[in-house]
Structures are given as C-alpha cells and as structure tokens.
C-alpha cells in the first residue's frame, strides 16, 4: 500500500490550520462568598452584564452586578452545593430558554426544564430571555377582541389582542380565577396560553394545572412555575422566560396570551436580590429601577404590524394589594404601564358578587375598539349605569323616600348585578353574553324577582340554543345587532317570557 506524500501534507496542514479554533478559551473566576441565591465572584473581568456563567456543579448563574473588583452573580438553581473558592466559568452567552410547540401542555421551570415527569422537552429552538421590546413603528393599534368568556369583563372592560390589562385586588378576591377563565375560553380561538406562577404555593399551582387539564386547556397552554420555595433569582427570571416562550408565537404571526401570577411577588424577589447586592434602596426599600423591571417586561406585549405578520401577545399581569391600597408603590407603577385594570373589590366578593369587579375603578384604555359591534351596542352605557347604581344604592341605604323613576333604576341595577354574576371555570360564548346583556339592559327582567334572575338566565339560554338556533346563528355570523336581528331577538324573548309565565302560573 503506497502513501501519497501530498495527501499527508494536506491533512497535516488542515490540522494545523484548525488547531487554534479547538482551544476552549474562557475566563475562569473564583467564588469569594455565596449565600441566599447570590455569589460574589473574583476574576471574571471580561464578563458582560446579563451573561450566563457556569459553576463547578453545573448550575448556571447570571452576571447581575459588575463591580470594580468582583462580579455579583445571581444563582439560577441550588446554591447550597456551591462553596467558597469554587470555579466559575464565563460562557459568552445570554440566558435563553427552549421555545416552540414542544412546550405546549408542559409544566416547566423558568429555565425550561420539565417539572411534570413527562420526559425531555421536544424542541431544538431557543430564544433569549431578555430582548428589547418591539418599537412603535412595528406595532399597530389593538382592534381585535380577545374574549375572556366573563360577561362583566367582555361588556365593560374589554380586552383586545396585544393589550396589557392588569388584574388587581386583595388576596382571595378571585384574581387567578379571572385569568384562568380567560385561558379556558381560548379553547377554539387558536390563542396559545402561558401561565407564569411566581412565588405561589405549589399546592395552589397544582390545583390550577388540574383545572386547566380537566377543561382541556392544557393542550394549548404552558405553565412556568417558580414556586414560593424556589430561590429569589428564579422567581425574578420567570416572567421574562414565559414572555420569551410566548414571543415565539407572536413573531410567527400567531396569537398568544400570558398571565403573570403575580408581579408583586416578582418585585419582592427583585428587591431581595438588589438589597443582597447592596444596591441602594428607594421607596418601600425597592430599588430605583423596579419600574424598569416591570416596564421592559410588559412592553414586550404588542400587536405587530402587518409587515411583521400581525401576530400578538396579550398579557394579564396580576398585582396583589394590601387592604385595597391601590396607591402603593408597585400597584401604581404597574397601573401606569398597562392599558387598563380590572379592580376586584373584597366587599363585593364577600357579598357574593363574583367576579367582584368594581365598575367605577376598572377601566380598559382600548375600550370599544376591542369589542364586536353587537357587544358595543348592547353594553355601551353599562359601565356608567352600574357605577351610578352603586352610588344610588349607598344613597338608598339611608332610608330616604325614592321617586318611582329612581326606584326603577335601582331595581334594574340589582337585576343587572345578578345577571353579571358568573361561576368559576364557566366561561360563556360572546353570542350568549350579548343576548343576556341585551335582555337585561332593555328591561326584560324588570318583573323577574331578583332571586330568580340566575334561573331565568339559564333557561333563556337553553331556550335560545334549542328552540331559536337561527337567531343565534344570525347573530354569531354578523356579530352586529342590526334592526332585523333586534326584531328576531325581541320576538324570541317574548316567546320565552310567555313560556316562563305559563310555567310560573302552573307552579
């Protein structure tokens, strides 16, 4: 067997040429001190802000504070196995998470590692956790409705695709229930959903996941969990990770909905990290850039222009208030960033009004632009009427004699409040919402006793489904209350009232 000297020479040359590229040149530092989810590292002089670093035990960290002689690193994982003097390597990469359809139906941690025991995530695509939000020129106005299936919200504070609508209220007032109902209602809309649980009890999160699974919503939903027992760095990073996963759909011309439950806990985690890093505290001991922490997150929700595929990312951030203190630091910050808020009032909740939405304080800055024409027409003055009813109700409690017109407005208000009540995990189709609100606002329930309003509503919807499907079909297709549809609806209500009265006479 003969050897060709030219071939041998070319192989040697190629090996020499590629030799330098095989060298793994990385900065290596040492841990000076570690504890409470952070580490001070010496020797990483060339590390970038936000760069990922790797500890000896394989846990990743994020360069958080670049100081003169050391780097403050937040540890994204178990910091108890990291010891002083341990090696830390820079990676030259920014933090990224897996994205794509492989995440749908899965429960993951903020780094994209599965928590549900269903094996590895089947996707090869990744996106950086922190990106700059889309610019003004690359967006377009929010005009497409995102139906939550909750009558009170779709009628009075409508949400559009690409909007940021804050859900705010005290603990145990039904904030998570509103968000979960909105996710369940996306079943046939093609909207991909992401639920980010920050600092929640793991038993509570397990309950939410079970409800989503029961209602078939886990097929199009990803749950990102940084529980109450997880270190502060993971709780801080979780909302950004969830947003990166949701953006994959927005930038591919699809629609996504993300729920942050809740950003108060994320702010507390960020405060903990900042104070441990010796950053100067500001109001309520939060660091000065806590506003930027939330604004750079929520500004990533957008309705993209047609040139970018017209995709959208809608966000429902949740904020927990203490004793209804809406003017506290974090609530006012997030209210000023979002396009409206749904305020859930404890008094209403404990009085049995669920969802406990305060119609006076709740607002949507997109308004009727995010409603179908039919809903816009029937619910136009509903928010103001309900707010006026609350004032009138307070006045009537003084025991003053009321004139007939005021008494009639008060009676209708009681019936509308009853009509807008809705059970948990029972979102309603927009056609049914329009029919019910039309019947209430036009006075068709004025003669129905208040305790029987819920029964009237149930039986009326059954009647419309079973006996008047052509009316529902016409309304669903046209999405507008044209004169001929109004006549059909009026005739249907008249027929139903006849049946209702006949049944009442028999009983």
> What amino acid positions are annotated as catalytic residues?
365
- Please say whether the beta carbons of 157 and 170 come within 8 A: no
The Cα diameter of the chain in Å comes to 117
- 499-505 LR contacts (CB < 8 Å, sep 24+): 499/463, 500/456, 500/459
Angle, alpha carbons 214-427-497 (nearest 5°): 130
Exposed, middle or buried: residue 292 (CB in 10 Å: 0-12, 13-18, 19+)?
exposed
The phi, psi pair for 317, rounded to 5°, reads: -70, 145
- Please say whether the beta carbons of 173 and 357 come within 8 A: no
- Other C-beta atoms closer than 10 Å to the C-beta of 207 total 14
DSSP state of 131: -
Place of tokens 């209500």: 493
Angle, alpha carbons 261-265-269 (nearest 5°): 135
**The two structure tokens encoding residue 290:** 């806590």
CA torsion angle 291 296 300 306 (round to 10): 110
Q: How far apart are CA 469 and CA 257, in angstroms?
A: 31
Q: How far apart are CA 321 and CA 326, in angstroms?
A: 6
* 3-class DSSP assignment, residue 165: coil
Q: How far apart are CA 479 and CA 374, in angstroms?
A: 6
Q: How far apart are CA 379 and CA 440, in angstroms?
A: 10
Alpha helices in 397-444 (DSSP H): 404-420, 430-441
The b/e string for 91-118 (b: 16+ C-beta within 10 A; e otherwise) is eeeebbbbbbebbbbbbbbbbbeeeeee
For 222-289, give the DSSP string: EEEEE-TTS-HHHHHHHHHHHHHHHHHHHTTT-EEEEEEETHHHHHHHHHHHHHHTTPPB-GGG-BTT
The phi, psi pair for 259, rounded to 5°, reads: -115, 125
Hey, which residues does 225 pair with through a beta bridge?
197
């Amino acid at each position: 067997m003969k050897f060709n000297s030219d071939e041998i020479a070319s192989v040697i040359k190629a090996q020499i040429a590629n030799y330098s590229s095989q060298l793994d040149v990385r900065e290596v530092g040492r841990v000076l001190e570690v504890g409470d989810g952070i580490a001070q590292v010496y020797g990483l002089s060339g590390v970038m802000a936000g760069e990922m670093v790797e500890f000896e035990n394989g846990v990743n960290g994020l360069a958080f504070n670049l100081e003169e002689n050391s780097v403050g690193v937040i540890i994204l994982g178990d910091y108890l196995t990291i010891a002083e003097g341990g090696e830390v390597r820079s990676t030259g990469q920014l933090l990224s998470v897996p994205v794509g359809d492989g995440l749908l139906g899965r429960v993951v941690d903020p780094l994209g590692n599965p928590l549900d025991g269903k094996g590895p995530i089947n996707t090869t695509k990744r996106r950086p956790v922190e990106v700059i939000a889309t610019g003004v020129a690359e967006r377009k106005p929010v005009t497409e409705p995102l139906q939550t299936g909750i009558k009170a919200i779709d009628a009075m504070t409508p949400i559009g695709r690409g909007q940021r609508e804050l859900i705010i209220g005290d603990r145990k007032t039904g904030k998570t229930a509103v968000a979960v109902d909105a996710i369940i209602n996306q079943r046939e809309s093609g909207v991909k959903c992401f639920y980010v649980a920050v600092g929640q009890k793991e038993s509570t999160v397990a309950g939410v996941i079970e409800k989503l699974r029961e209602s078939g919503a886990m097929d199009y939903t990803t749950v990102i969990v940084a529980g109450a027992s997880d270190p502060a760095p993971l709780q801080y990073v979780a909302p950004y990770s969830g947003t990166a996963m949701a953006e994959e759909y927005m930038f591919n011309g699809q629609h996504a909905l993300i729920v942050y439950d809740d950003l108060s806990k994320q702010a507390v985690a960020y405060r903990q990290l900042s104070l441990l890093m010796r950053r100067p505290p500001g109001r309520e001991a939060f660091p000065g850039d806590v506003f930027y922490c939330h604004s750079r997150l929520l500004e990533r929700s957008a309705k993209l222009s047609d040139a970018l595929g017209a995709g959208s990312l809608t966000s429902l951030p949740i904020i927990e208030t203490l004793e209804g203190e809406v003017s506290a630091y974090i609530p006012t910050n997030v209210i000023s960033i979002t396009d409206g808020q749904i305020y859930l009032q404890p008094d209403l909740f404990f009085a049995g009004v669920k969802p406990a939405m305060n119609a006076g304080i709740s607002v949507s800055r997109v308004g009727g632009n995010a409603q179908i024409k039919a809903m816009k027409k029937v619910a136009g003055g509903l928010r103001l009427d309900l707010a006026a009813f609350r004032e009138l109700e307070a006045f009537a409690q003084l025991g003053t004699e009321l004139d007939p017109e005021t008494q009639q407005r008060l009676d209708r208000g009681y019936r509308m409040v009853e009509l807008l009540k809705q059970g948990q995990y029972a979102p309603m189709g927009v056609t049914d919402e329009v029919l019910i609100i039309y019947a209430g606002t036009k006075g068709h329930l004025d003669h129905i006793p208040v305790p029987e309003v819920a029964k009237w509503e149930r039986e009326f919807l059954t009647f419309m489904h079973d006996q008047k499907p052509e009316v529902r079909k016409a309304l669903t297709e046209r999405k507008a209350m044209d004169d001929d549809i109004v006549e059909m609806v009026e005739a249907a209500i008249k027929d139903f009232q006849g049946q209702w009265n006949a049944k009442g006479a028999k009983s």
